[in-house]
Structure formats: C-alpha cells, structure tokens
Chains A and B, each alone.
Chain A
Amino acid sequence: MPKLSRRDFLRTAAAAGAASALPLPFAAHAADDAILVGGLHDLSGPIDFAGIPMNQIMQLAVEEINASGGVLGREVKAVVYDPQSNMSMYSQYATQMALKDKVAVVQGGITSASRETIRPIFHRFKTLYFYNTLYEGGVCDRNEVSLGTTPAQTVEKLVPYVMNLWGKKVYTVAADYNYGQITAAWVKRFVEENGGEVVETEFFPLDVTQFGSTISKIQAAAPDILMSVLVGTGHLGFYRQWAAAGMKDKIPMASTTFGAAGAEPIIMTPEEANGIVTCYGYYPTIDSTANKDWLALVKDRYPEDTPILSELSECTWEGMMIWADAVNEAGTLDREPVLEVIESGKTYDMPAGKVSIDPKTHHAIRDVYIADLQDRVFEIKEKFEQVQPADTQGVCNLEETPDANVHHEISL
C-alpha cells in the first residue's frame, strides 16, 4: 500500500468534499437553513439573576421574529451557551460562536470584564456584537453596538434631580473597580456643575460586608444626599445596615446601581429600600402602549418564572429587534451592509421609548427615566427624551476611525 502523505490526503479530501457538495440541491439544506444567533449570558453563578432574564427575553425575541416571518424569509435559531461568569469560558464560547457556529450576531456579556473578554474576539472574527448592559462608557468599536445607558446619560439627570429635591452636599459610596471609580468621578463632576459639593467619596472592595464605620462617618459628615454606586452581593449589607441604624429616613439616598438588574428591590424589604431614587433607561412601570403590550407578551410567554424586567433584559430585546430590522433592510447577512443600516440613524419604537443608534459611537441615544422605589415598584417621576451618550462621544468617533478597537477609560 503506497504511503499517503498528509498533504495528498488533504488534497484528495478537499476535492472529494467539493465534488460531493456541488450537486446537492439547496432544498436538501432546508432543515438547517436557519440563521443562527448567539446568546452569551451568565446563566449560572452569582449574577445569574441578571443573565437568566436576558436569555429568556432573547428567546422570546427569536420566537417573535420567527412568528412574523423570520429574517430574510429564513427561520432564526438561538445558540446559547452558559459561560458561568468564568472569563476563560467566555472567551472559549465566543470563539466557538464565531468560528464553529458562525452565528450572524451575538447578544450578551454582562459585566465589563466579560465584555472586554469577548469584544476583541468578535472584532477579530468580524462577528457582529450587541452589548445590552448599562456600563461605564468608553467602548469604541464599530463591530459592537452598545444599547445600555452610560453615566453621562443617567448620572447627568439623576444628580440635578436629587439636588433640587434634597440639597447640595453629597456623600458618595462606591464599589472599588472601574465602573465604581468612573461613575463616582461623574457624580463629582455633575454635583460641582450644579453648584454642589461632594464632601467625601468612599470606595469599597467588592467583598466588604460591614459598613458600620462608614455609616458613622456619613453621620458625622451630615450630607444632604447619599449617592450609592455600590455593586454586588457583599454591598447589599450596606442598605440593610443603613436602615438598621435608623438613617434611612434621615438622609435620603440616590443610586446609579440599585435595582439596575432588578434583584435588589426583591432581596431588600420595603422598609429598607423605599425612597431610593434611581435613573435608568427602562422601568417596567413606563406608561406607554408599546411597553404594556410588551409586558403582556412577556407574561403570556412566561406565565411562571416571569423574568425580572430591567434595562438589561429590555435592551436585549432591542438588540435582537434592531439586528433583525437591519438585516431585513440590508437584504443580506453580510456585516458591512448590515452595519450601514444600523448607522443610518433610524429611530426604533421600543418598550423603553424611542431608540436610535449614534453612528459615531454605536451607542444608543435613548429616553432615560428617574424613578422612586416604593414597595418594590419603581414609580417614574420624570422622563428625559433622546439623551446622548456624551461621555463616549467625547472619546470616540467611528466615522473618523472605523477600525478602532478599544475601551477608553474615561478620565475626568
């Protein structure tokens, strides 16, 4: 038997493959003609309370898209992996989605760490990527569309609102990592722009669970407003200990994070959490037909295990819908024409309100709301229309640098 070299083998195999592929009629592929879309959310682990609703809403969006005729007349199918908040699994699954599954688009990533793990992978393999979480701002990458709010959209509105209500002296407590540091800096800037003063900013490592000393220090400083930029399960103790010291009704609190993914208002009792004022891009209490129809749809699809709705899950819905609309309009799955539709400045009617994509930054220009938590329900107090992601606009212009592939640390 003649020895078959590796090269010969490959050549023969390739030829055979090409030959056998040619005569097959297209119809034979009909079963797997579906367009694959990737979902990469933390479905287990400490932040699954955020990831599971995002995944549920993504599935619902896929079903809705299919019910209205699919994309390009083809069925859409979700490919879902659970990266378990593990960054090496995030990068492994991202690569798998881009190269093996060859998905048309990916929705996902929750923490900034996970986004910065997978964003460069999708950039490199030219797989369109939607990031649907509020974050510190600064991503500059034409391959990514960021739908969540950034500090310039929310903090800019929240700070003057609560200063008008309560006074000018602000004390900030923040999580000690990039989101907390950057957001605390924005708080300081907006407080000063509005003629107020940040008397102290304290940072807490994420595993801090005891806040007694801080609570006494806040009492000594006697601010008019307490601003919480706390994050994670350890920091939940702050709200509890603050209320336990009897401070909740003495110094009012605003937060850029409380209930952002919907969990805190459930874990904390109303006695502890009532009256906290927040500002996000979506609340289930938005009074519009689009939102009410959407809530009914969600409830109908998930009568049990109804997902906790927040900006994160609502933006995931937007991500799927904006992508499907862009593909249908472009008439192709190719990334370049799809991106051109996304950059064309269309306005989309979403449950959260009107949303359009800023072509310079690929961030959403959207309505933001201020709400006051009462008995687990966010009562909307004010609405701001079409707020620009000014922070990211200050550091990123994709029209000038379309090949940018960075996350700017916005320093103030």
Chain B
Amino acid sequence: MDFALVVVVEIARAIAWLVLLSAGLAIIFGMMRVINIAHGEFLMLGGYTVIMATKAGFNLWLAILVFAPLVVGIFGIVVERVIIRFLYGRLLDSLLATWGLSLLMAGGVTMLFGNTVEGVSTPLGGLTIGQYQIAIYNLVLILFAVLLLVSIWSVLKFTNAGLIARSVMQNPNMAQALGVNATLVYMATFGIGAAITGLAGGLIAPVTGVVPSMGVNLIGQAFITVITGGASVVAGTLSAATTLGSISQAITFAAGPVYGDAALLLVALILLRILPQGITGRIFTRSI
C-alpha cells in the first residue's frame, strides 16, 4: 500500500518533470515554430541564476520563483531581438543558429563561473510514507507543474493578450492588418517562453547537478514531449507528458531505468507513427 502510494507520487513527479522541461519549449517551438536547440542551455541558465543568487545571499525561493524567470526571460528577449527575429519561418536556419547559441551559452557560462560550482541542496527535507521516505520537494515540483499549466491555459484562454498572441501565431498578416503589432507580440511570446524555461531550470536546480553541460541531458526529453504533444501548448504538453511520463516511470519501476528510457522512446515513436502531427494534431484539436 505504501509502495503503491510512492509509485503514484513518483509517476506524478515524472509527469511534472516533463511538463516543466517542455512548457517553455511548447510555446517557443509549438506555438512560434522556432526550433530552439538552446532550450537545454536556457534551463541551465535558470539553474545558474538560482545558484548565483543564493550564493549572493538571496532567499532560495526568491531566486527560483523571481530571479530565474526574470533573468532568462530578459535573456530570451535579447536573443529574440538579435538572432531569432530574422529567422521566423526558416526552420532549418533557426536550428543552426540556436545550436550555435547553445554552444556559446555553455562555453560562456564555463568561462564566467567555471565548470564546478557548488549547487544548492534540496530544501524541505523528506516525508515518511510508511517505510518509505520521499523528498517533499517532489510535491513542490508537481504543484508548480500544475500551476504553470493552469496559468498558461488561463492567459491564453481568458485574456486579451492571450487571444492576440494566438491570433498572431495563427496568421500574423491578418493580425497585423487588424492593427496588432506582430513584432512586439513575437518578442513578448519568445520572452515568456524563455521565462517559463528559466523558472523550470530554477525549479530543477535543487534536484540535479548544475553544470554548464547539463542541457544535453534535458533537451531530448523536452523535444520529444513537445513533438509528441503537437501544436496545442497546454493540452499537448499535458497529454504527452502524461503518456510518456507514466509509461516510462512504470517501466522504470518494473524493469530499471535503461528500459524506462527505452520505453519512453518507443512510445514516442509509436505515437508519432500513428499521429504524425502529435497527439493534439488528431485528438483535442480545438484545445489550447
């Protein structure tokens, strides 16, 4: 019974993990069709922001919830102005440019802070469930994944800004003809995608090793989730993260992490064979 509860929490945590890793990318890639290969480095930058801010004496939660999204969001806006805005609609060029950006970011952070910086240990301690102990922070990750999806959904669904953003992504020319400043909307959307990625990077910093090369360990899972999810930001991320996270985590429990990893790839492969446009390309097509 205790074990079943632990498994459920772990599966929820695995889903939350994929949601956090891919929500920002879902906006940048899913909505804006910009392949951001530097996504992993955006996460890394969020992690480094948290480490540097806590080292400077700031509160950990302030660093995670305010500084990380702020720093990466501003960085994202700069990147959009300097690089990305010339590459809208040029999928392969944006791939190459952001790959260069990812190398630059990993190299730059190494030069500035070095390869070995003391991380932050996980706050909040452990929680006892019967004979098991889990990190309370896992529940924080789950909570923030839920909050993040709810906020993105509410903004896109109920606010004017969300409506405008969706209209620009769907048809920039028509939106512009109706008086929307598409350039501004693109910039803001990219910045928000980056800020969400920064927040995710900050949230995972206390449970991973934060090093300049950490992006490569994360970007694969993020892209697989977004591509499997399809075009809808919230429904796509949620459905893909739930499918992939629960299956791979269940297999990990049953047979070990090697098979868990393999299962995640296999499920993604099968889903994309059946639903080449992603889950939300066929099912939940009208959702956000």
Contacts and interface: CB of A to CB of B under 8 A. Distances in A.
Interface in B19-37: none
Interface string A220-238: 1000000000000111110
Contact of A240 (B122, B125, B213, B220): B122
B208 A237 contact: yes
A237 B6 CA distance: 19
A347 to B, nearest CB: 34
A409 B122 CA distance: 39
B217 to A, nearest CB: 4
Nearest to B124: A244
B209 A247 contact: no
B189 interface: no
Given A207-B220, A233-B213, A269 B120 contact: yes
A267 B125 contact: no
B10 A207 contact: no
Contacts of A247: 126, 133
A55 B247 CA distance: 45
Contacts of B252: 213-214
Contacts of B91: none
A244 B122 contact: yes
Contacts of A246: 125-126, 128, 133, 135
A246 to B, nearest CB: 3
Instruction: Count chain B CB atoms within 10 A of each CB in A44, A176, A240, A243 and give the residue with the most.
Output: A240
Given A216-B132, A240-B122, A267-B117, A44 B209 contact: no
A81 interface: no
A235 B214 CA distance: 10
Contacts, number: 139
Interface stretch (A93-101, A113-121, A184-192, A198-206): A198-206
Contact of B216 (A176, A207, A217, A243): A207
A280 to B, nearest CB: 18
A267 B211 CA distance: 8
A49 B7 CA distance: 37
Size class of B's contact patch?
A: 35 or more
B207 interface: yes
Interface string A268-304: 1101100000000000000000000000000000000
User: Binding site of B, secondary structure by majority: helix, strand, loop or mixed?
Assistant: helix
A234 B110 contact: no
A245 interface: yes
B14 interface: yes
A266 B257 CA distance: 27
A204 B6 CA distance: 21
Nearest to B131: A219
A205 B126 contact: no
Contacts of B212: 46
Contacts of A45: 213
Nearest to A237: B208
Nearest to A233: B211
A219 B258 CA distance: 20
A208 interface: yes
A209 B217 contact: yes
A48 interface: yes
Nearest to B253: A213
Given A212-B10, A246-B126, A48 B121 contact: no
B17 interface: yes
Contacts of B131: 219-220
B171 interface: no
Given A244-B122, A263-B116, 19 more contacts: A44-B110, A203-B256, A207-B217, A209-B218, A212-B14, A213-B7, A214-B252, A215-B134, A216-B3, A233-B213, A236-B119, A243-B121, A244-B207, A246-B128, A246-B133, A266-B116, A267-B117, A267-B210, A269-B118
